[in-house]
Structure 1
Amino acid sequence: MQIIPRLLLLCCCLISLPLLAQKKNASYKLHIKRATSAIKIDGVMDEQAWADAEMGSDFYMILPMDTSYANLRTTVRMAYDDKNIYLLVENYIPAKGYMVESLRRDFAFLKNDNFLMFMDPFDDQTNGFAFGANAAGAQWDGLMYDGGKVDLSWDNKWHSVVKNYDDKWVFEAVIPFKSIRYKKGIRQWGVNFGRNDLRTTEKSSWAPVPRQFPSASLAYTGILEWDAPPPDAGPNISLIPYALGGVAKDYIANSSPKWRRDVGMDAKVAVTSSLNLDLTVNPDFSQVDVDKQVTNLDRFELFFPEKRQFFLENGDQFTNFGYATLRPFFSRRIGLGVPIHFGARLSGKLNKDWRMGLMNMQTGKQEETGLPAQNFTVAALQRRVFSRSNIGFLFINKESLNYEPGKVPDVPIYSRYNRNMGVEYNLASSNNFWTGKALVLKSFSPDKTGKDIAHAANLQYTSRTWNIGWQHEYVGRNYNAEVGYVPRTGYIKMAPQVTRLFFPKSGNILSHGPQIMSTNFFDEHMKRTDNETQLSYAFVFRKRNTLTLWSSNTYIKLLQRFDPTNTGKDSLAVGTEHSWSTVGADYVSMPQSLFTYAFSTRYGGYYADGKRFMASSELGYRFQPYVSIAMTAVYNNIDLPQPWRNTSFWLVGPRLDVTMTNTLFFTGFMQYNEQQKNINLNTRFQWRYRPASDLFIVYTDNYLPEPFFVKNRALVLKLVYWLNL
């Protein structure tokens, strides 16, 4: 196979590229000293500790251009004592007032006036923590991974206050040492500070970051220099019990209401200052938002992201192994329609170079379908190489307990076990210009042998004006990842892409440029089955509104029967070939306005010489900072020959967010999916009555739209309490 020598060549390139890398912003240092007085978190800089602390200023502009100092002045001070890290930031503004979405936690960075801090306690430029707030006081926190990505599902105990003045807004925060992980004795941490101001459309950072990268990029952190090794956090054990009551009723089955009375607990134990043990017994995730529905016109399984915090927190070692459509581990496979009895995860840093993760979950048996009790074990080990690259190993085992397939008649047969193991090399050069990955995976199943290997690689170069990438994948027809997300097997994929950007020196356009990308699929004999080539041209305006125009050409040879409307009508035959062209446009309005909008449209051919028109829009209005109203609508019209003829779908979803304070939230939304013939209503009230402790009241309805009829509904009340021992 031609792809194997190409893979080996690309792997050699990936391994050698870090040797060409540059060093980070080592000359940018902020010295942190022990506080000389007690500090009250009130947004008022009247303590002696702040007068004695070193000040960081002279921020650099990232946007609109990264060639000068920022126009807006920002100052940063940090201090510490035996238990906490303290942060005080003065964000100067040209006129009184601010622009924010709401008081909702973990807001969108580019849609709010905000300040964020990015900490790298291991100074490995790969993993860390992020804390911040918008100008109205809404908190923002997350775990950092892959050198610049932030997992906002992470939640821990810390406190902050924002106070607004005529010429500035002040952000003051206290972060307990127990809330983060760091290696004892290290006196230099990576750190950077980022600020976004919507009225001036200026994004800036303390240590300079090239405009093509996010301000969260750990490749460009400065240094936080401690006057002494950070204090030991001491014993660090947290118990997080919950109590839940609820009722659900299935109106279609006309069954009696089912009452719920559950209790459970999570626990967090710091094995070391950088290694954490998470335990859970009888977990419940009823407070999690339902999935955002989409119109499904795809031939393969759709991906819906994980939202359960236990699986997301510090789980990037597991979930980021592989690619978007080649994931050997996908946590939503665990507890799918069955209860989780208990679980444990040990994860974190062993030292600056080694990182590990070990997780075990036990689910119960589902009597209705005969699905047996199952055990899931996932183990990951990662070794840093060069400056920011790493080599990772992953092992996954799914085991059905006390189960013999086919023993009980009229019950579906499930696999006795499924195992996956793999190794991957992740490239990240010191200056972040070169990134890439190379991986090999193998599955083990009792009924599938041979052709059970997958391997893939990609390499990407990102400069200010060029973004050039290549990716290819091979997935054997018997490769089986039952705990993963691999929507198709038995293929070879090649996907090059090139983007060129231009930057006018003046005018309303900040940048513009073309992109060409081509995605090609072949069977294992290198016969083409799919191709999509797309040419687009994008404009980014100085007010941060964007416009993209595109056209594409598509070819598909069906490898299985497919209903092009996904409504259960007749299907196109295996082996039939289809090709068509499409044009489209996407626009997003500037985020500074109280009224925001976006639209997307496409028109062109479709399967069986048909036509497809799609239009979607999202409208939003905010009464800042308390109320945000949004409406999304998607319309699809498909014109095909008999027996489908003309088919149209509406997908409509209004949403209301009310943030009465930064600890009291109400969210309500409805989703009408004409394709699925379902109306979903979900409301959630959340009261954060103390840091990381919440009261949730969640109400959910599902209706049949024609005739209008209640299918099921549920009401849940859940109380969570975070206790530090």
Structure 2
Amino acid sequence: MMLFNTHYAFSQQIQCNSQVLAEINQSITVDGVLDEPSWKQATKMLLAYENNPGEGTPAPVKTEVYFYQDGTYLNVAFKAYDPNPELIRASLRDRDALWADDNVGIIIDTFNDERGAYEFFVNPLGAQADMKMDDTDGWNEDDSWDAIWDSAGKITDFGYVVEMSIPFSSLRFAETQEEKVWNVAGWRNYPRDVRIQMATYKRDRNIKCNLCQFQQLVGLQNIKAGNNFQLTPTLTLSKQDEKPEVPGDWQSGSVDVEPGLDIRWGITQDIVLNATINPDFSQVEADAGQLDVNNTYSLFFPEKRPFFLDGASYFDTANFNFVHTRNIAEPDVGAKVTGKTNDHSYGVMLANDNNTSFLMPGNQGSDIATLDEKSEVAIARYKMDVGERNNIGVLMTHRQASHYNNTLLSVDGSYWISQRDNISYQVARSETDNPELVVEEFDVNKEQSDQALSINYSHSTRDYNLRANYSNIGEDFRADLGFESRSNIERVVLGGNRYYYGDEEDMFTRWGYFGDWDKTYDQDGNMLEEEYEIHGNLQGKKQFYSNFGIVHRKRLYDGEMFDETQFMQFARFRPRRNIELGTFYRFGKQIDFANTRLGDVIDVDPYIEWDVNEHVKIDLNYSYSQLDVNDDRIYTAHQSDLRIGYQFDMRSILKFVVQYTDIERNPDLYIYDDIEDRPDRNSRYFSSQLVYSYKINPQTLFFIGYSDGGYQDDNLDSLERDQRTIFTKFSYAWQL
């Protein structure tokens, strides 16, 4: 107990600056004009400190933040002064896309437990971003969380003004009539030649905890969550045409009409129920393109669907990704309860799935298994906070079909030995019954059971970090509702970082180096890989950032050991205020996995993000890869992902996406036993999407769009479309 008591006293010593939150029974008009009398009585704080690149130095420009609550809303206003208002960076933005702009925000720890917080940010034109922040082991953010709140901004002759009105029903906090204490920080991002960050608190980088350094708002006895019941009916219409044979005629599809209903109920201030009936999980925007060439592992795609994103962090665990809800592809119904009561957080999710697919892991690669049958899904998670910063949790996942089931049970936790030393751990066991299809296709046993273990240690200071990891994943371990693509491995990793700091006047504001050594075996004791890597990093003028280094590894593949040495670099900067340029490249020796031999690889991935004006934004990502063996070209691959957006206003946007992939191979250089395995010389793919959307908030929206796609192989003379779809969706969130 001495450890916990010592940390508590230290934490309270940091948080000595508190203010009473003003309570004023007057609402505001959220218009970016501070003309309500209530603002003169509001609680005021100054963003007096520059915390990046400086470390608690005086802020270079003046910023004021005002708070008050009216019983139903937390009202916040910023006055952001600027000696050169013409240099303010701001565009009309879609949600969570304002980080290249000037912006201000608040970060609120409503449970006063110094473990997590809500973030609300607004740019000078009123664009919104909201996130959840986790501070149990450094500052980690999740922008998938969306709340319903109001904001507005206006550029003025002295800088800009922002107003926010955040309903308490969008937050979770302890349900008590006693006086509440919230840790809070006002924040300002000030991007010029160097990106400067200012806040209401003076940051000490020697302290790993961030929330414990914030100021405090006290009071809040009379706040109400309101009638936290949200009913969101949806209607989706779509029509898809296909070509059964290419080239050939179109086969016209019928119009698919799908009504649905989403329910969100704050049962108490601590507990939220989400339910969905006949949900529409259509993608509003296409996934970012990924070049899948000379790769043996399955690609990862993030979750984007609202039902699964709300409360998703309640199912996270320490060291493994055991819950990846994109595995639940086509549910008819789903229900989820998530909550936090005092030191206890919990979540339960139930759903069905008409498309049963899951990852089949290995130590040389992974694949996807698909069953032509429905399945039922259950996920349960519980975590208990212990002391000031420690925690322990359990997770259960279960997926079942008529001839298949996978069950996983996991225990995880985090323990702080001292202010700078942390151990996190996770141990799990899975039990799987496989159908005959999986047994035959993937050469696995009818019944599989195994365990997985991971232990991490880290020592963190202002100037350096040391880390170590041990992980052991059994050959028959499966996490069919997660994304763990490797099994049959035992791995040790040792590494560290060294940091140096400058200020905004220096050529480089931050620099350092990092590296690690790791060694991996299979469960029979055969070495799979031994790797050394060392990297440097630089950060400075023109918002420049780069990391660069060299990697050398001995690697076993298909029974042969290979030596791979590669140099790589990532760099980005802003030559002008509205343009960001960046690229990643690597070159060196790499295994040709298709033919089990060593080749010479070159990968280049440049990108450009261009705000043409406050309405038009263009993003272009390009990927190039080539592999040579003995000066003969095995393949050359290109991929382009172009996205153009026209933002009419904060609610209305038109987006156009084109993705194109072109892979040229030399079949004569491939090794194969059967002529059917001979690769195509030319493989080309394309897709396009045009979507108009009108969003009042994340749940009340309308969109209409068109998408198509096609391909070309050696049997076709040109690119041919083989599918096209037109779709529209209406949804409206009723706050009852």
Normalised by the length of structure 1, the TM-score is: 0.87
2:720 matched residue in structure 1: 709
Q: Deviations over 1:368-391 (max 9, x none)?
A: x86222111111111001212211
Structure 1 contact 143–314 (Cα < 8 Å) conserved: no
Matched, 1:499 2:493: no
CA contact (8 A) 2:98 2:127 kept: no
In the TM superposition, 1:69-84 aligns within 5 A as 69-84=58-73
- State the partner residue of 1:393: 394
Q: Where do residues 504-653 of structure 1 align in structure 2 (5 Å cutoff)?
A: 504=502, 507-558=506-557, 574-590=558-574, 593-607=577-591, 608-640=597-629, 645-653=633-641
Give the counterpart letter for 1:680 in structure 2.
S
1:292 Cα offset (Å): 1.5
**Alpha-carbon contact 2:44-2:64 (below 8 Å) kept:** yes
- Structure 1 counterpart of 2:146, one-letter code: D
Give the structure 1 partner of residue 437 of structure 2.
none
1:304 counterpart SS class: coil
Q: Hey, what's the Cα distance between the residues in 2 that align with 1:537 and 1:639?
A: 28
How far off its partner does 1:122 sit? 0.7
Residue 593 of structure 1: how far off its partner (Å): 2.2
Question: 1:209 — aligned with what?
Answer: 203
Q: Which residue of 1 aligns with 2:272?
A: 276
Q: Secondary structure in 2 aligned to 1:482?
A: coil
Match of 1:60 among 33, 46, 49: 49
Cα distance 1:460–1:102, how it changes in 2: closer, same or farther (>3 A)?
Answer: farther
Gap change, CA 1:37 and 1:263, over 3 Å in 2: closer
Residue 300 of structure 2 corresponds to which residue in structure 1?
303
What is the distance in 2 between the residues matched to 1:686 and 1:698?
9
Do residues 286 (structure 1) and 277 (structure 2) align?
no
- In 1, distance between residues paired with 2:207 and 2:579? 28
Of residues 317, 330, 333 in structure 1, which corresponds to 2:327?
A: 333
Aligned counterpart, 1:7: none
CA deviations over 1:178-209 (Å, ceiling 9, x no partner): 22221122510121121101126310111223
Equivalent in the alignment of 1:479: 477
Q: CA shift at 1:45, angstroms?
A: 2.0
Distance across 2 between alignment mates of 1:610 and 1:604: 8
d(CA) in 2 for partners of 1:61, 1:366: 51
Q: Over aligned residues, Cα RMSD in angstroms?
A: 2.7
**Structure 1 position 540, deviation (Å):** 0.9
Shift of 1:648: 0.6
Give 1:469's aligned residue.
467
Report how many residues are paired.
672
Which amino acid is the alignment partner of residue 238 of structure 2? G
Distance 2:356 2:415 in 1: 43
> CA shift at 1:487, angstroms?
0.8
Equivalent-residue separation in structure 2 for 1:598 and 1:149 (angstroms): 23
- Equivalent residue number for residue 221 of structure 1: 214
- Tell me how far apart the structure 2 counterparts of residues 18 and 486 of structure 1 sit (CA, whole Å): 38
When residues 183 and 714 of structure 1 are mapped into structure 2, their CA distance, relative to the original with a 3 A threshold, is same
Quick one: distance in 2 between partners of 1:426 and 1:546? 32
Return the alpha-carbon distance in structure 2 between the equivalents of residues 425 and 19 of structure 1: 21
- How far apart are the structure 2 equivalents of 1:230 and 1:473? 49
Q: Is the 8 A contact 1:388 1:429 kept in 2?
A: no
1:437 to 1:684, Cα distance in 2 relative to 1, 3 A = farther
Instruction: Give secondary structure in 1 for the equivalent of 2:500.
Output: coil
Could you tell me how far apart the structure 2 residues matched to 1:690 and 1:316 are? 21
User: What SS does the corresponding residue of 1:104 show, helix, strand or coil?
Assistant: coil
The Cα of 1:553 is off from its aligned counterpart by 0.6
- Of 651, 659, 671 in structure 2, the residue corresponding to residue 671 of structure 1 is 659
Equivalent position SS for 1:674: strand
CA 1:612–1:652: 2 relative to 1, 3 Å: same
Q: Is the 8 A contact 2:356 2:375 kept in 1?
A: no
The offset of 1:212, in angstroms, is 8.7
Please state how far the C-alpha of 1:690 moved relative to its aligned partner: 6.0
1:101 Cα shift?
5.3
1:232–1:273 Cα contact (<8 Å) kept: no
Counting only pairs closer than 5 Å after superposition, residues 247-286 of structure 1 correspond to structure 2 as: 247-253=239-245, 254-286=250-282
Question: d(CA) in 1 for partners of 2:576 and 2:418?
Answer: 34
| CA spacing shift, 1:665–1:18, aligned 2, 3 Å | farther
Does the CA-based 8 Å contact 1:387-1:429 persist in structure 2? no
Determine the structure 1 residue equivalent to 2:89: 99
1:464 Cα deviation from its structure 2 partner: 2.3
Partner of 2:224: 232
- In structure 2, the CA distance between the partners of 1:418 and 1:692, relative to structure 1 (3 Å rule), is closer
Q: Confirm or deny that 1:170 pairs with 2:161.
A: yes
Report the CA distance between 1:475 and its aligned residue: 0.3
Which residue number in structure 1 is paired with residue 644 of structure 2?
656
* Counterpart Cα distance in 2 of 1:651 and 1:638: 15
Structure 2 counterpart of 1:188, from 181, 184, 190 = 181
CA contact (8 A) 1:28 1:207 kept: no
Residue 174 of structure 1 aligns to a residue whose secondary structure is strand
Q: Distance in 2 between matches of 1:668 and 1:581?
A: 40
Q: Are the structure 2 counterparts of residues 504 and 483 from structure 1 closer, same or farther at C-alpha, using a change threshold of 3 Å?
A: closer
Report the equivalent of 1:115. 104
- The CA distance in 1 between the partners of 2:200 and 2:699, in whole Å, is 30
Q: Distance in 2 between matches of 1:166 and 1:452?
A: 66
Residue type of the partner of 1:445? T
Query: Where do residues 384-463 of structure 1 align in structure 2 (5 Å cutoff)?
Result: 384-400=385-401, 403=402, 405=403, 415=404, 417-427=405-415, 433-446=420-433, 452-463=450-461
Retained in 2: the 8 A contact 1:157–1:179? yes
| Secondary structure in structure 1 of the residue aligned to 2:574 | coil
Q: Deviations over 1:283-309 (max 9, x none)?
A: 112143222121223322222111112
Question: C-alpha deviations, 1:503-543, integer Å up to 9, x for none?
Answer: 35763111222211223211124432112321111111144
Q: 1:270 to 1:58 in 2, by over 3 A?
A: closer
Offset at 1:430? 9.3
2:11 corresponds to 1:23 = yes
Distance 1:306 1:500 in 2: 34
Shift of 1:714: 0.9
In the superposition, relative to structure 1, how do residues 679 and 18 fare at CA in structure 2: closer, same or farther (>3 Å)? farther
Distance verdict in 2 for CA 1:531–1:711, change over 3 Å: farther
User: 2:220 matched to 1:198?
Assistant: no
Which amino acid is the alignment partner of residue 647 of structure 1?
A: Y
Measure the CA separation in 2 of the matches of 1:132 and 1:343: 31
Is the contact made by 2:169 and 2:224 (CA closer than 8 Å) also made in structure 1? no
CA–CA distance in 2 between the matches of 1:492 and 1:50?
A: 60
Change (3 A) 1:396 1:37: closer
Structure 2: give runs of 5+ residues left out of the alignment: 358-369, 434-444, 592-596, 664-682
Q: Give 1:524's aligned amino acid.
A: Q
SS in 2 for 1:445: strand
Structure 1 residues 594 and 38, CA gap change in structure 2 (3 angstroms):
closer
For the residues of structure 2 that align with 1:47 and 1:125, how far apart are their CA atoms?
Answer: 33
Provide the C-alpha distance between the structure 2 equivalents of 1:190 and 1:704, rounded to a whole number of angstroms.
54
Is residue 539–residue 545 contact of structure 2 (8 Å, CA) maintained in 1?
yes
Query: Is the aligned partner of 1:374 residue 2:375?
Result: yes
Q: Deviations over 1:35-59 (max 9, x none)?
A: 1544222222222211112210142
Determine the C-alpha separation between the residues in 2 that align with 1:585 and 1:308. Answer: 33
Aligned to 1:719: 730
Counterpart Cα distance in 2 of 1:201 and 1:366? 46
CA contact (8 A) 1:184 1:232 kept: no
Quote the Cα distance in structure 2 between the aligned partners of 1:16 and 1:511.
Answer: 33
Q: TM-score, normalised by structure 2?
A: 0.86
